[in-house]
Amino acid sequence: MTDVPTGARHVLILGGTTEARRLAARLADEPRLRVTSSLAGRVAEPRLPVGEVRVGGFGGTEGLARWLCEHQVDAVIDATHPFAGTISFYAARAAASVHVPLLALRRPGWVAGPGDRWHHTDSLAGAAALLPGLGERVFLTTGRMGLAAFAHLTGPWFLVRSVDAPEPPHPPRMEVLLDRGPFTVAGEAGLLRRHRIDVLVTKDSGGAATAAKLTAAREAGIPVVVVRRPPVPEGVPVAEDPAGAARWLRTVLG
């Protein structure tokens, strides 16, 4: 643990996103704060934020509540990926049980524009059900954890992009592209052409780092299946950027 001044308020950032890293950097120069960033440990070589970092799960709601008490946490900011729903609900229940204020930091979702051919669904299973009517060569950018939802589709060919290599079960006709954003429109357009992609599947993660594929799909006239993000737990306030999260901290910590 790094040296912190006596009486510093302890802030836990549930991280793993660009916004979480930016928030940790923003708070690093606050002398009255001690900031710990927590990463789930699902990525082999994560981009680490500045300051204290812990890696791994907490053991569910009770484990997280216990950690908050043992480490005297004064505020929690859930800056996990918009689709990391389980930890968000653990955090909401744990923070409420030990009376620690909690904020969700969520980047805004993507919004369709003129020329977009988007098909929305609430789940990966729903996305898989839509594919047979939309295309045969699929660019799948939903991450390595949900490929089982597409494993039964023997007809389409999939280009799967993820940071780490996926594990079975997965579609039988598949090529894996290991890469990490940010991506450019020109790069995404070239990828669509080279692989003759005729449908894109993505989660509404929002943000600029991976939005270029949507522009490339629009320009190519390719339909996009967009999986809606799960809701933030009821009653949890939301900030859309690190500046808003910092303002919330000033309010709740005084």
The tokens for 85 are: 């729903």
Please give the pLDDT value at position 41. 75
Query: Residue ranges per domain, the chain?
Result: 9-108+231-253, 118-227
Percent of the chain with pLDDT over 70: 97
Q: What is the pLDDT of residues 4-22, one digit of tens each?
A: 566 899 999 999 899 999 9
212 compared with 208, residue with greater pLDDT: 212
Distance between CA atoms of residues 178 and 167, nearest Å: 13
Please give the pLDDT value at position 145. 85
Mean pLDDT of 144-168: 94
The tokens for 229 are: 């993000």
Whole-prediction pTM value? 0.87
248, pLDDT greater than 60: yes
The tokens for 102 are: 């909690």
Distance between CA atoms of residues 78 and 86, nearest Å: 11
Give me the helices (H) in 60-211, please: 60-70, 85-97, 124-130, 185-194
Give me the helices (H) in the chain, please: 18-27, 60-70, 85-97, 124-130, 185-194, 212-220, 242-253
* Long-range CB contacts (within 8 A, 24+) of 243-251: 243/26, 244/105, 245/23, 245/77, 245/79, 245/103, 245/105, 246/23, 246/26, 246/27, 248/77, 248/103, 249/11, 249/27, 249/33, 249/75, 249/77, 249/103
Q: What is the pLDDT of residues 168-181, one digit of tens each?
A: 999 999 999 999 88
Mean pLDDT of 75-85: 92
Looking at every residue in the chain, the average pLDDT score rounds to 94
Distance between CA atoms of residues 39 and 61, nearest Å: 16
CATH of domain 9-108+231-253: 3.40.50.720
**Whether CATH 3.40.50 fits 118-227:** yes
Q: What is the pLDDT of residues 18-67, one digit of tens each?
A: 999 999 999 998 989 999 999 987 766 788 999 999 999 999 999 999 99
CB 206 within 8 A of CB 79: no
Please give the pLDDT value at position 6. 65
Distance between CA atoms of residues 252 and 128, nearest Å: 43
Residue 225 parent element (H or E)? strand 224-227
254, pLDDT greater than 90: no
Backbone φ and ψ of 208, nearest 5°: -90, -20
Please give the pLDDT value at position 5. 60
Mean pLDDT of 234-253: 97
Would you tell me the crossing angle of helices 185-194 and 212-220 to the nearest 10 degrees? 50
Please give the pLDDT value at position 23. 97
Distance between CA atoms of residues 196 and 55, nearest Å: 39
